[in-house]
Structure formats: C-alpha cells, structure tokens
Structure 1
Amino acid sequence: MGYVIPFFEFGNYFLYSILVGHIALQFVPEDRKPKSKIAKPFLLLSTLGIIIFTLGPILQTIYYFKDGVGLGLAIRTVFIDFQVGKAWIFIGFLATFLWMALQLNASKYLQALLILLMILGVGYSSHVASLSFWTGLISHSLHFLLVTLWTGILIHVAWLSKENTDWGKFLRWFTPLALVSLIIIFISGFILMVFMVEPKDYVKAWVLPYGQMLLLKHISILPVLVFAIINGILVRKTILIHSFNPLPWIRGESIFLFIIFYITAVMGTLSPPHEIEFTLKSEGPSRWVEWLLGKNITTTLNTHFLTNFQSVLLIVISIHFLIMILISFKKVKPLLGVFMGLCFIVVLYIGMMFSLYI
C-alpha cells in the first residue's frame, strides 16, 4: 500500500494542476498566451480522476485501521468521522459539478469557484488542519493553489500548446506571477513545515524517512529557482530576438516541479516527526541513511550538522552543477541544464548526508 499511495497523490497534484491551469488561462487575453491543444475529454477525465486519486489517503487510513476494528467499521468511520473522508465527499460532489460545467462550457467564473472550493477541501483534509484548523486550512489551501497554478500554467504552455506564439507577451505577465507565487509558497510552506518539524529539529529529522523526503524537496527547489531566473531573463531575450524559442527551458522548469510533486506525494504517506526521538523509536530510522553512513541509528540526541572534507567537497561540486545550468543556458542546451540540475540534487543530498554527525 505504501508504494501505491504516492502515485495516487502525484496523480492528484497533476490533475489539479491541469484543471487550475486551464481555468486560469481562460482569464488571460488570447494574444498573451499560447493556444492550448488540450482536448475537452481529457479535462473531463481529469475531474473524474481527482475523485479517484483523492481516495489514496482514505485507502491508506482504512488499511491502517481494518485489522483492529474490521473492514466495514473502518470504512464507515473514515468516511463519517475523519476529515479526509468528509473532504472526499465534498470534493467528489464539487468535481461532479465541475465536470458538468466543463461539459456545458459554463462560465469561467463558475469553473474558478468550483476549483477553489475543491482546493479548500484539500486544505481541510490536510494533516496540519487537524492540528490547527484555520492555520492549516488557509496555509495548505493557499500553498496548494499557488503550486498548482504555477505548475498548471507551465504544463499547458510547455507541453500542450503550439510553438508559434509571441513568447515575450506571455513571459512578461507569467514571470511576475511566478515570482509572487514563489514567495507565498515559501511562506506558507514554512508555516506548514513548522507544524511537522520544529526548525531546531530539522537536521535531526534527516535520520527519518519523512526528514529525508523533506530535505530532498528543499534541495529540489533550488534548480527550479535557477530555471525560473533563466525564464525571467528570457523576457528580455524574446523582446530582442523574436525567433528565440523559450519552450524547452519552460519544459525544464516543469520537470523539476514534477519531481517536487512526487517527493511531496511520498511525504504524504509518511508519519510527520512531531517528536523526533519518539518517531525513531516507534518506526525506526531511514535504512538508506544507515547504509550511507554505515551506522545503526538508535537515537538522535547528539545528532547535528558538522561539515568535513568530503561533505564540503561535495557541496562545492553541487554548486558547480548549479552554475552549469546557467552556462547551459548560455550555450542554448536546455537538456544539459536539466541533467545538471539532477546532478546538483544528487550531489548536494549526499554532501548533506555526509555532514550528518550522529
């Protein structure tokens, strides 16, 4: 079950992004966006797909309780008493109306209202909302909305549009939107993280599977920032050189966002380490960390960040990979930039692990 649920979560992020991007682009004038090639049946299937993929956390919860109370009682309890079950009913109800709105080409304002209410349902079902309702609801909903908005527009533009468009007009409004979204995503993401892992325990959490995914997520954000900077520079270049095609670079940015989506999906299946030491005792450490460091981890009391020659060397090398992304832009080789971004994630991650003193 633990290996299947991340794919449900990833599918959920992806389909929400498709719908949010489609609805958001309806509010953009035709001459300031590329023409999308997405078919209506795919949009309709996306709404139905959300109903199915949102079942992921519910199935995980039912699977957890079924041996103790029985399958029937577990199903009834999850759907009636748990926030995640109530949210699924709410989202499924709205997704059905959104399907009808898309099928009948209803007002874009109605479509926007329905998708916003569905996103509030996602925020309501979040773990943070169960700890602090209003803070969790608002922070998670806002975080989810802006991530899917940013990614959704990129998906439509990078993978589902025609190339013969005025990219300068598109990038002139999208770059500021991405920048504002990024700032709010960072703020809301930090608020959500504090409920999961206290900042003082951030490094200690690395010995746990959840902490590993959190570290990988944060590392993976850096190549996204570099590609966002490159795409911001493209605004000026497209003005000077109208024949320049920024599409491969926009696709590169979307690839790293997909990586972050999957990491976030995996995090959703893991226990948040509110108490690091208790979580370590009850669920055990990350086997990967034990293998990488060659140690049996039984406590985090003395765990802290301590650099050494190996870790510093790897961190320096990772920075070079990050710089190579910018150099690949100068050489007009977007595929090389994506490869360098992947190398950066791997090398910096290993460097951070070698800095983990236990």
Structure 2
Amino acid sequence: MLWFNVVSEALLYLCFSILLGSFILHLIPETARPGIKISKNILLIATLGVAFLSFVPVLKLILYLYRDMGLGVTVQSVLLNFEVGKSWVKTWIVSLILFIYLVPIKLERKPFFSLAGLVLILVLIILQGWSSHASSLTGWQGALTHTTHFLAITTWIGILIVISWFSTNHDNWKHFLKWFTPVAITCLALAALTGFDLMGYMMSEDNYVNSWTLPYGQTLLLKHLAIIPLLAFAFINSILIRKKVSDDPAFNPLPWARLESMIVLLIFVVTGALGQEAPPHNIETTINETGVSPLFSFFHEGEPVIPLAFSPGILSIVLFLSAVLFLIMLVLTFIKKAPKVMALVMGILFILTAYLALMLSVQ
C-alpha cells in the first residue's frame, strides 16, 4: 500500500505537469518554440489521472475510519464533512468538465482552446492547495503557499517535460530558451521560497538536521540532494546549450532536456514518499510514536541524542569531495561530449555520496 501511495502521488504530479505544460506551450507562438505534437489520448488520460489519483488520500482516510463507522457512513462523512473529501468532489467535477472539454477540440487550432484549459487546470491546482496539509494547519495562508509552490513546480517542470518528450523538432531552440529560462528561474525562486515556508509548517527550521532521525527527515534530505543535480542539468540546458546551439544550429538539445526530466521524475517519486511520512512537528514526540528511521539506525546504533551534532571525519570529508567531483563531472560530460547516460549516472552518484557524507557527519 505504501508504494501504491508513493507511485500514485508521483503520477499525480506528472499528470498536472503534462496538462499545464501543454496548455502553456500551445499559447506560445510557434516561432518561439519547437513544434509540438501531443496525443489527445495523453491529455485525456492525464485528466482522468488527476481525478482518480487525487482520490488516493481520501481512500486512505476512508480505510482508516470505516471499521469503526461502517463503509457507507464513512464514505458519506468523508466526502461531505472532511475538507480533503469536499475538495476531491470539486476536483472530480472540474476534472470531468475538463475531460469533456478536451474531447472535441484540438489545442493547436486556436489559442482560446488552450486558455480555457489553462483556467480549468489552475482551478484544479487551487483545489489541491486547499486540501493540503498546510491548509489544514493554517487555513488560507497554508493553501495559498501550497498552491503557489505546486503551481511554480508544475509550470517549470510541465514545460520541460512536454518540450523534451513531445517536440517534433528542435527548431527555434534559442527563441525558446530566451523566454523559458527566465520563467524557469522565477518558478525555481518561488518554489524555493514557498518550500521553505511549507517546511516551517511541518517543523522548526532549527530541527532540519534533527529530523534526519525520522523517515520524514530522511526523505526530505534525499529530495533536497536530488534538486542539486537537477540545477546542474538546468545550468547545462539553459546556459551551456545556448552557446552550443549558436555555434552549431544542427545540434539537438532534446536528449539533454530529457535527462533533466528524468531527474524530475526521481524527485516526484521522492516527493510522493515524503507525503506518506508523519511530519515531525515535535522530534522527540514523533520518535516515541513512530520510532527512529531505519536508514538513520543503519548508520547510528542506539537512541539518537537530540540535538544532533556535526562532526565530520576523514571518510565523510572524502565523500563530500567525491560528491563535488561527481557534480563537476556531470557538467564535464556535456562539455567533453561523453555519452549522455554518464551525466545521469554522475547525478545519481552525487546524491548517494552526498547522502553518505552527511549521514556519517552527524552524531
């Protein structure tokens, strides 16, 4: 059930990204982007994905409560009285409207078609924010923060995924980068700011390192480490490739964009896992309730002493330096025209070595 929840949440992010990216790119003039051909079936499946995959948290709540209340009463109560249930009913209705709307139209025909779809997907994103954990804690402030965070990520990643996997050519790549690079930087800045704000809802920033003793903190750390090679790929695809395309118009940048999107999918999976863990509002209390993370226990035996202290040894320093080296080699893979898969391998090796270095540096 855990892996089902993780995969379903990762696929939900992917569905939102594909829909949002498709609507945005079809609003952009063809002279400012490569040609795009995305199947109507993919858009319809993504819309159904939003409707059904967003039901998983509701299903978890129903399965948790039905033994005491009975299935019929529980379903009715969750859908009508719980905010997560009421938000899903609205999500289902808007998703159904979007599905029916997409059936007869072709986005490439008129910009209005994409604009109307964009409005509907924005409504769905707002509903996601309103049903979030942050919203349940702080009301509209948490909903606004989560909505902004989710919108920033799906805008950046949605454009990246659609352009890298559904482009029919790599024409106008310089014109594409001219507007996409500032959009991506803006989205990244918004995602970082709202991400820190959302983290503050779950725990005090002072407890970030202490949270590594818990499954939530371990997953959050892996997510943050995975973002670093993503930024390295973004540097390649926005800065280095711009010069490469200028020097060699025949150069195809799409494989590098696809590699960046693979790191994104990894982050989606980790984010899905993060949503399954108990937020550490109080570290000591959460340890007593859920126990220490098995990953943390693998490196440190016995009960952890809070607060954790940094004490890097020779091994952890070597691992830190190795992680930096892997990151540099990721960029050099592009510069030296090495096999592209090596860049992905270097990114994964960076995550592993940086994680090991941090785990061996705390006590």
Matches within 5 A, 1:19-168: 19-105=19-105, 107-168=113-174
User: More deviation in 275-284 or 30-39?
Assistant: 30-39
User: More deviation in 163-172 or 26-35?
Assistant: 163-172
**2:186 aligned residue:** 180
Structure 1 residue identity aligned to 2:150: F
Confirm whether residue 2 of structure 1 aligns to residue 2 of structure 2: yes
Structure 2 residue identity aligned to 1:343: L
Distance 1:196 1:55 in 2: 23
Assess if the C-alpha contact under 8 Å between 1:8 and 1:56 holds in 2.
Answer: yes
Assess if the C-alpha contact under 8 Å between 1:101 and 1:110 holds in 2.
Answer: no
Offset of 1:323 from its aligned partner?
0.6
**2:263 aligned residue:** 256
Offset of 1:25 from its aligned partner?
0.6
Report the 3-state secondary structure (helix = DSSP H, G, I; strand = E; otherwise coil) of the residue aligned with 2:43: helix
Structure 2 residue identity aligned to 1:28: I
Offset of 1:78 from its aligned partner?
1.8
Offset of 1:300 from its aligned partner?
4.2
Matches within 5 A, 1:322-337: 322-333=327-338, 334-337=340-343
- Alignment partner for residue 266 of structure 1, among 256, 273, 282? 273
Residues paired across the two proteins, number: 355
Distance 1:270 1:69 in 2: 25
Report the 3-state secondary structure (helix = DSSP H, G, I; strand = E; otherwise coil) of the residue aligned with 2:171: coil
Distance 1:70 1:347 in 2: 49
Cα distance per residue 1:336-358 (max 9 Å; x no partner):
1111000000110111111121x
Distance 2:204 2:305 in 1: 14
% identity of equivalent residues: 37
Assess if the C-alpha contact under 8 Å between 1:203 and 1:305 holds in 2.
Answer: no
Cα distance per residue 1:129-155 (max 9 Å; x no partner):
111112211111111111111111111
Cα distance per residue 1:258-289 (max 9 Å; x no partner):
11111111111111111111111001111122
Assess if the C-alpha contact under 8 Å between 2:27 and 2:115 holds in 1.
Answer: no
Report the 3-state secondary structure (helix = DSSP H, G, I; strand = E; otherwise coil) of the residue aligned with 1:305: coil
Distance 2:202 2:350 in 1: 26
Assess if the C-alpha contact under 8 Å between 1:175 and 1:231 holds in 2.
Answer: no
TM superposition score normalised by structure 2: 0.94
**1:208 aligned residue:** 214
**2:322 aligned residue:** 317
Cα distance per residue 1:30-77 (max 9 Å; x no partner):
111122221112211211121111111112222222334333333222
Assess if the C-alpha contact under 8 Å between 1:314 and 1:350 holds in 2.
Answer: yes
Gaps of 5+ in 1: none
Alignment RMSD (CA, Å): 1.4
Gaps of 5+ in 2: 106-111
Assess if the C-alpha contact under 8 Å between 2:216 and 2:274 holds in 1.
Answer: yes
Assess if the C-alpha contact under 8 Å between 1:159 and 1:251 holds in 2.
Answer: yes
